[in-house]
Amino acid sequence: MFLLFAFVGLFVAGFYSINHVQVESTYLLEEQNIVEKNGQYYLLIDDRELILSKNFYEKIQLEKYNEYKINYVYNRLINNDGEVVKLKRYGEQPWGK
């Protein structure tokens, strides 16, 4: 019985993880790409509403730069919404400006 539960658990975990998608690309951002709802920031790109942490929100300086390299994750099983996991200004060196 234990082996059956373990097998089913591994199958469900594997099915969930193969539907987990990570996207990394460069985007031109504008004011309408960023929205705030109930104190949480969201980035609207690729027809997705991505959770944007306050730290990443504060990194975006649209008055100076509008091109950003963004890495986000989402799961196709859960309504295609996801979370921004990496954001930096396009061309920014790893050590900063």
Q: What are phi and psi of 18, to 5 degrees?
A: -75, -15
Sign for the pseudo-dihedral over CA of 44, 26, 52, 96 = negative
What pLDDT does residue 86 have? 94
State the Cα–Cα distance between residues 3 and 53, nearest whole angstrom.
40
Using one digit for the tens of pLDDT, what is the confidence trace for 30-85? 999 999 999 999 999 988 899 999 999 999 999 999 999 999 998 877 776 899 99
pTM: 0.74
What pLDDT does residue 46 have? 86
State the Cα–Cα distance between residues 81 and 74, nearest whole angstrom.
6
Structure confidence at residue 11 as a pLDDT band (50, 70, 90): low
Per-residue b/e over 12-33, b at no fewer than 16 CB within 10 Å?
Answer: eeeeeeeeeeeeeeebebeeeb
